[in-house]
Amino acid sequence: MSDKTSNSPDFAKGDGLLPAIAQDAETGDVLMMAYMNEESYAETLATGRAVYYSRSRNKLWRKGEESGNVQEVRGIYLDCDADTILLKVHQIGGAACHTGFRSCFYRQITPEGMKEVGERVFDPAQVYKK
């Protein structure tokens, strides 16, 4: 009744990496999807800030560590199969996407093709300086 998988994400399922969806706690907008491993999940719980695992860089990704646009975690939810995580967050800086859009899902697929529908909050060139 209190085995590990029933009380926490089942990281064995995704070869150690599970999808984590970040949703704006205030507006309900889906902001982004990234991955977490057990270490990033534990750090998220401990710090109250979203920490992912970057598959391209193969290391912990403390969201906002470079841009300052951290995500303060308001709630953590687990799906029925315990293999997907949902975070409700307060997005500091207003934008979750590295392109400067509020949400990474700023493009809609329509019969006429792809349309930009999101709101750009910052200019990436100003935020990510070399």
- Sole window of 22-30, 46-54, 60-68 interacting with a second copy (rule: CB under 8 A): 22-30
Q: What are phi and psi of 75, to 5 degrees?
A: -170, 145
For a second copy, which residue of 117, 119, 123, 128 counts as binding (CB under 8 A)?
Answer: 117
Helix H, strand E, coil C: the string for 55-90 is CCCCEEEECCCCCCCCEEEEEEEECCCCCCEEEEEE
Whole-number Å distance between alpha carbons of 23 and 83? 17
Residues 82-101 that bind a second copy (CB under 8 A): 84, 86, 97-99, 101
Whole-number Å distance between alpha carbons of 70 and 49? 7
- Sole window of 15-23, 46-54, 62-70 interacting with a second copy (rule: CB under 8 A): 15-23
Whole-number Å distance between alpha carbons of 104 and 33? 8
Binding residues for a second copy, rule CB under 8 A, total: 35
Establish if 125 lies at the interface with a second copy (CB under 8 A).
Answer: no
Given the complex with a second copy, which of 62 and 102 has the nearer CB atom? 102
Residues that bind a second copy (CB under 8 A): 6-8, 19, 21, 23, 27-30, 32-33, 45, 75-81, 84, 86, 97-99, 101, 104-109, 113-114, 117
